[in-house]
A = this chain, B = another copy of it.
């Protein structure tokens, strides 16, 4: 980790201004690629100077660093060094990182870069680009080690020694048949421990857990997490090994998916990258749709209140409890929706326990309703010195919280069932829906008891 980023950046900027590139090169060598990426991203210099610093890195480090940079820094390097230089670096990048990076560029530039890359490797990367970016194919790398089953462990280690610099991981070795179908797996740990003359086939694991190339990245993350894997093999529909996904990419997926769920639950579809880029237009575009949904629901809620017009005119105090009812009902609904959406995302809620989840939320809603209904009803009674008003508010609270908890659980479960992302059952969506049902309950109770209120 960089102890004092600000000071480090200052040092780099000064050395760069004085063109002391030997000094910069010596300092760069002390840092990890991730740190170099952080420095390049935050360095306050012109594109040309950033390019000069990048050129000081050895090829291997440059390839790693390029895979970690944000898109604006990459564009800056592209400006400074030109597509031919960047294409050279792309040749040395793992195929998943290269595809990821190219995927961020407009089509023209992407094709230019692919054209400048080594032809065979460009084809390989091009193939990866064709997979859905949120599928196993979209995050896998083609740099894995696959061996035949009839060699000895000694021979296997010898091969690993040679392929080590190119492979994304050598800690798992996959065993394939002549059609490249996955038939076994063995860890480097097991190869090391085994007798050198052992034939791989006799010690490999035959039940290999793999993911299919079109599996959603969130599910892939669940598999890797469940089995504590360092990598998982990816197979096509004919069980042929086409790539591997390593655990570092899975960590990125888990962060990304959690952010996506959190943003959706908060009523905003903006992607994390977009947020960091900070473009207001993207913020508006991603937030407005949810506001329009809330607007329509708000107008319906207003229409419900319009039905209560006469009662409101007679007993204006009925209006004072509207924010209390909608606020607390929305609160209970958000609580239920949040735990349900998260449970679905982590796999803790599935078909086996869906009914216990619903009944648990319903019971929680009833109990919360009774506790808060009695409390709020009593407060209303004392505050407005009106027992009937207290009764109406208290009963409305019980009904409101019960339906809120039930809706909070049912809506995301229903969305999941029909193939919509459950996180669309966001706080704003749920809150506004509960406003309507809560006010319907309140209106009905108020019209029933209006005779006693006057």
A interface residues (Cβ-Cβ under 8 A, vs B): 1, 5-6, 30, 32, 34, 42, 157, 160-161, 164-165, 170-171, 188-189, 192-193, 207, 209, 223-228, 230, 247-248, 250-252, 254-255, 258-259, 261-263, 265-268, 270, 272, 275-276, 278, 280, 283-284, 287-288, 290-291, 294-295, 297-299, 301-303, 305-306, 309, 312-313, 316-317, 319-328, 330-332, 334-335, 337-339, 341-343, 346, 348, 352, 356-357, 360, 363-364, 367-368, 371-372, 375-376, 379, 383, 427-428, 431-432, 435, 439
Whether B339 contacts A270 by the Cβ 8 Å rule is yes
In the complex, the chain B residue whose C-beta lies closest to that of A298 is B324
How far, in whole Å, are A368 and B428 apart by their CA atoms in the complex? 15
Whether B207 contacts A30 by the Cβ 8 Å rule is yes
Whether B297 contacts A327 by the Cβ 8 Å rule is yes
For the complex formed, measure the closest distance between the CB of A155 and the CB atoms of chain B, giving whole angstroms.
14
A-B contacts, 17 of them at CB < 8 A, read A1-B223, A34-B227, A225-B252, A263-B339, A265-B265, A265-B338, A266-B335, A266-B427, A268-B335, A268-B339, A270-B339, A275-B339, A278-B360, A291-B332, A294-B331, A305-B323, A330-B428
Whether B348 contacts A272 by the Cβ 8 Å rule is yes
How far, in whole Å, are A338 and B283 apart by their CA atoms in the complex? 13
B-side contacts of A258, CB under 8 Å: 254-255, 258, 261-262
Whether B298 contacts A337 by the Cβ 8 Å rule is no
How far, in whole Å, are A225 and B227 apart by their CA atoms in the complex? 19
Specify which of B160, B342, B368 is in contact with A284 (CB 8 Å cutoff).
B368
How far, in whole Å, are A134 and B95 apart by their CA atoms in the complex? 36
In the complex, the chain B residue whose C-beta lies closest to that of A261 is B262
In the complex, the chain B residue whose C-beta lies closest to that of A256 is B346
Whether B276 contacts A305 by the Cβ 8 Å rule is no
B-side contacts of A192, CB under 8 Å: 157, 160-161, 164, 170, 188
Specify which of B193, B263, B348 is in contact with A342 (CB 8 Å cutoff).
B263
Known: A1-B209, A288-B368, A309-B316. A266 touches B363 (CB 8 A): no
Whether A368 contacts B287 by the Cβ 8 Å rule is yes
Known: A262-B262, A276-B348, A323-B298. A364 touches B427 (CB 8 A): no
Known: A272-B346, A334-B427. A295 touches B324 (CB 8 A): yes
Specify which of B160, B337, B367 is in contact with A280 (CB 8 Å cutoff).
B367
In the complex, the chain B residue whose C-beta lies closest to that of A342 is B262
Whether B335 contacts A287 by the Cβ 8 Å rule is yes
For the complex formed, measure the closest distance between the CB of A322 and the CB atoms of chain B, giving whole angstroms.
5
B-side contacts of A341, CB under 8 Å: 262
Known: A34-B226, A266-B334, A339-B275. A251 touches B250 (CB 8 A): yes
B-side contacts of A170, CB under 8 Å: 189, 192
Whether A331 contacts B291 by the Cβ 8 Å rule is yes
B-side contacts of A321, CB under 8 Å: 298, 302
Whether B427 contacts A327 by the Cβ 8 Å rule is no
For the complex formed, measure the closest distance between the CB of A197 and the CB atoms of chain B, giving whole angstroms.
15
How far, in whole Å, are A357 and B207 apart by their CA atoms in the complex? 50
